[in-house]
Structure formats: C-alpha cells, structure tokens
Amino acid sequence: MSKKIRLRQKVEAAGRETSEALREFFSQRAIFVVNLIGSPGSGKTSLIEAAAGRLKGRTAVIQGDLETSEDKERIERCGLPAYQINTISGCHLDAGQIRRAVEEFPLDDVQLLLIENVGNLVCPACFEIGEDIKVAVISVTEGDDKPAKYPVALLASAAVVLTKTDLLPHLRCDVDRMAKDALAANPELEIFRCSAVTGEGVDDFLDWLEEAAAER
Amino acid sequence: MHELSFAAQILRCVEQQAREHRAPRVSRLRLRVGRLSGVNRDNLAFCLEAVADGSVMQGAQIEVDEAGPELVCPSCGRLPVDGMVKPVCPACGKEAELVLNTEVTIEEVELDVEEDPTQTES
C-alpha cells in the first residue's frame, strides 16, 4: 500500500538557522552588516580602502579568501580593524565561519561590519551569513556583459557598485549597458559608479549605505 | 554548488515523514527546484542518491521539476518569463504577480506503508 503526501515544503539552505542567529546577534548590538560579493579582482578590498577614511572608528571588516592574510593587512593599514578567514578551497563564506569569527573578533563600538566574501560572483549570492544586505561589486574591466551573465548575484543584492571607472577611457566597455542589464535583473537595485583611484562615486555609495543602515 | 547540504536536509525531512506515518520505505519523491535557486538539478539528484544510501529513501524514484520565473495573471494564468519583469500580464495588460521561484521545495512524498489490519478503510 502506498500513501501520497503533498508537502510543498521549502528546503532551507544549510546554515540558514546559524545565519538567523547571527542576524539576531548583530541586531542586538545595532551592527549593520554588509556582505560584499564579486569576482576576484573586482575591487572589493580597494573599495573598502577608498571608504576607510570616512568609516574609521565605527567599522570593522571580515575578509574571506582561500589563502593569505594580505587583505586583512591592507585594511588594517587603513586604520580599520580586520579579521581574516581562510577558506582553503571553499568558494564562499558560510554562516558557521562568521559565527566562529565573531567569537574571536571584538566588535565593541562597531556600527558597520563589512564582510568581504571570497572572490566569486556565483556561490556567495546563495548563502546568507547574517548580513542585512548584499552589495555586488563588478568592475568595468570584467566586461560589460557581466551583469547580464550573473543575474543571480544581482537579484540577491540591494546595490551594485561598478568599480574602476577611471579606466573607462581605455576600455571597450559600455557602462550604461552594465547598469541597464543590472536593473533588468533586479529593478530595485541601487547602482553606483566608483573609482577607488580617483574617489569618484565613493561618497555617494557611502551616503546610501549610511541611509540603508539608519533605515534598518 | 551546495547541493549536498540541500540533499541532507531533504533526507531529514523525508525521514521525518516516514517516521510519522510508520513507513519502512519511501517509494517516490517529487521536488521542485527554482532555476534561480543556485541549485543544479543533476547535482542534487546525484547527492540525493548518495545520502539516501542505507536510509528509508534508498531506491526511491526521484523526480526533480524545474521552475523558472513566471507571471501569475488573474485572468490568463501562469506565463513563463525570462527574469525580473514588470508585474503586468503581456497578454491582457492586467496587473499580475511576479513569482521568481528561487527556492527548492519538496512537493510530494510517496511512502510504502504497511497495511494496518485494525483499520477498515482503504
């Protein structure tokens, strides 16, 4: 005899409970958490460096990389406390890694926690690590087809920062196409054009970030 | 890329159903995987087979349907779309609901249950 059971039950990704617990932990401490996702070399660390002057004193950074603590050292040189997670071969940060990190990494007086995910425009989009928002970072040097090719990352994000705009005169890159495709993937996206070298757009991004943190 | 964790959770849920209905075996399982979920259907099927080994789910027939984004119009029904679009029905112009289907769901479980001689209903 067989029995059919209609379930219609959603399967939660692993780590969802840990992520929810982290969200509670951060919320109780009034820490706004941003999960930065983007390809290797898209300029995530440089964007934080460019923003460090304004963020100093209230911001901490968790860095995710397969190997080395170079990014942690770069961030510390800008005057922000940083913690390095090495995933060895892992393609994204997971909630368990963040939980272990915050057990060791002091977050007193921190209002903004930036988590720079492992360089990868695919997997990090699908994992929640206790963040309030995800921000996608895509550089103009990656090619103007990238927003169209990686819609899932944009769908998961509240904003996209198009970086390295100072290089546009040297590239065959239609940055308007990038913005248009990003909005097609997610009409609610905020779009910023930034250069960590000239500082273009960095303040606009930070203004929006502060507003988003205040609205939470 | 993280199909194994989904497979493990699906197994846990199916085992619970089997326990609740005192079923020694699961014969069929129907899943629905959103195209925008980040879960690959073939990988998920492979992982399910691996985690099912030695469990009530071993040997179960597993069906995995794919669900892409769609507009749900009150008059015209469900219309597949490419991605994020305005929530307006392209056929009749009425306001429609955009359903992205970014999830993985267990739709249906079919259990082999032992006949209970104390129950008269079939």
Which of helix, strand or coil describes residue B52? Answer: helix
Residues A1, A98 contacting (CB under 8 angstroms): no
Per-residue pLDDT of chain A (216 residues; tens, 9 = 90+): 889 999 999 998 778 889 999 999 999 999 999 999 999 999 999 999 999 999 999 999 999 999 999 999 999 999 999 999 999 989 999 999 999 999 999 999 999 999 999 999 998 998 999 999 999 999 999 999 999 999 989 999 999 999 999 999 999 999 999 999 999 889 899 999 999 999 999 999 999 999 999 998
Phi-psi region of A199 (alpha: psi -120 to 50; beta: other; left: phi over 0): left
Residues A146, A178 contacting (CB under 8 angstroms): yes
Please state the pTM of the whole predicted model: 0.82
Q: Which residues contact A113 (CB under 8 A, 6 or more apart)?
A: A26, A31, A32, A33, A34, A59, A60, A61, A62, A107
CB contact under 8 A, A11 and B103: yes
Residues of B in contact with A15 (CB under 8 A): 5
Q: What is the DSSP string of B11-23?
A: HHHHHHHHHHTT-
Residues of A in contact with B9 (CB under 8 A): 11-12, 14
Residues of B in contact with A10 (CB under 8 A): 103-105
CB contact under 8 A, A11 and B102: no
**By the CB < 8 Å criterion, does A46 face chain B?**
no
Q: Dihedral of CA A46/A161/A133/A210: which sign?
A: positive
Q: Report the distance separating Cα B44 and Cα A89, nearest Å.
A: 21
Q: Report the distance separating Cα B122 and Cα B120, nearest Å.
A: 6
**By the CB < 8 Å criterion, does A3 face chain B?**
yes
Q: Which two tokens stand for residue A46?
A: 């440089």
Residues of B in contact with A7 (CB under 8 A): 13, 17, 105-109
